[in-house]
Amino acid sequence: MNEEEEKLAGERDFVTEAATLVSTGMDRPGFLEALSEYHPFDVSNALLTLTPEERVRFFAIVPVETAANLFEHFEHDEAIGCIKEIPTSTAVSIIDHMETDDAVDLLQYLEETESDIDLVNQLSPKKRNELKKYWNYTDHEIGSVMSNSFIELGASMKVTDAMRKVTGVAGDTEYISILYVVDRQKLVGYVFLKQLIIARANQTIGEIMETRIISADPHASKETVARDMLDYGNSSLPIVDEEGKIVGIVTYDDLMDVIDDIKTEDYARLAAVGPDEIRAEEKSVKLSVKSRLPWLLVLLGLSMVSSVVLSFFDVAFTGSAGAKLLAANLAIYLPLLLDMSGNSGTQSLAVMIRYLTVNDNVLTKAQIKKRLRREVGLGAVQGLGIGAIVFTVSLITDVIQSGWPPERLALSMGIVTAAAITVALLTATVLGAFIPLLMSWLKKDPAVASGPFITTIADILTLVIYYTLSLAILLPMYAAG
């Protein structure tokens, strides 16, 4: 392929090509063969651009195995939309041929969103039995995404017998790169396919297998297992129950999905919106409001606390002309203090959540103390630095307006503002680190401590600090004139 051909190939729009093929070629000979040249992901996206009638015709034509593969590339809401379009018998047949973990995800989402559609009881008995193994796991447990499409070998099998088994079932097995070895139904080792191919025919699997097994419990968190896979670098990880029996595996493509879901969920929580709102490219106003409004109402309640705090101080600043002047001067720097304390708290929050994530939310008392001391020191340094800058800017502003030397009230105002922002940044930094630690100690996801939540709490504390210092130090000076 020359340079020009490579450039054209790189610019090909496979989704559009597949959509054109489906919409214009379903009745032509060789359609299925032409369709097989496109990746299922591109075909699944192409189907979404067609009319419902064209999709119904398509799923009536293609083999059910092909349809099941395409459904595994749909987002949940897209798959539900297609299921509602096609005949129930076709939908049942497709789900029957999907990988069990993907089928479980789809059926659970269907159960949550469409209570009037029941496909589970229409599936084959074999599929229902497979689903039962997955249905007992929560969405956060690795058992909910494990696959049962792998190959088991006996430890006493000869290499020739093992090769015969592998070649016989490989076509119907999703994952064959690593073969798992069992003895008396318990996992005892594994063999890479390459090892099996190059082994001598008279050797047994027990002689060539690896016995250093890295496995996970089906109830372990998906996040923990994903990190183990990254640490050890295997393309799959066996899921083993309490009796030592292998009940499934997690593959590298599952790992990518898990990591994507975790990051989406954490990002959504940090932004104080629902995970579905982050994932959706297009969403109705009604659904977006339903996702965002509860969070906003919680934050509204917290923000109203700020208003209550201000109302308590309001009386003290209306007693005299000097007090009113002080209130006006304080308002100049108030947005600056609120922004900086919120920013500092959010920074500390993000760093601590990342630290907890890397350490699987399991920290010793020594680690917790070390992290809190670090944040206290960091908050103090940042507070003093920002406070010094604020004082300098305040002083320069007063000199420009009133000349040198600076007025006593202006100088005092700068000192109090600098002191307030120093204390506020220290408090917000420690708060941003402490709340995720508290969430972890309570066995809650630290990401629940969202950025807006921390910012609002920091605002309340900053208001109290700023106005308390001002009442104690500045109000008597302003009242005296």
Question: The pTM is what?
Answer: 0.57
Banded model confidence at residue 27, pLDDT cuts 50, 70, 90: confident
pLDDT at 6: 47
pLDDT at 433: 86
* Structural tokens at position 166: 């592998």
Residue pair 166/176 in contact by the 8 Å Cβ criterion: yes
Average pLDDT over residues 144-152: 88
Q: 151-169 burial, b if ≥16 CB within 10 A, otherwise e?
A: bebbbebbbeebbebbeee
pLDDT at 7: 45
State how far the Cα of 15 lies from the Cα of 46, in Å rounded to an integer: 5
Taken in order of first residue, the domains within the chain and their CATH numbers are 3-136 (1.25.60.10), 152-270 (3.10.580.10), 285-480 (1.10.357.20)
Q: Which residues pair with 239 in a beta bridge?
A: 216, 248
Is the model more confident about 453 or about 96?
96
What does R_g of the chain's alpha carbons equal in angstroms? 31
Burial class (CB in 10 A: 0-12, 13-18, 19+), 108: middle
State how far the Cα of 429 lies from the Cα of 433, in Å rounded to an integer: 6
Average pLDDT over residues 330-335: 85
Calculate what percentage of the chain has a pLDDT beyond 90: 30
Is the model more confident about 445 or about 110?
110
Question: Is 9's pLDDT higher than 70?
Answer: no
Reported as half-sphere exposure (CB side, CA atoms, 13 A), residue 134 has a value of: 24
pLDDT at 447: 63
* Structural tokens at position 210: 């690896």
State how far the Cα of 240 lies from the Cα of 190, in Å rounded to an integer: 13
Question: Is 185's pLDDT higher than 50?
Answer: yes
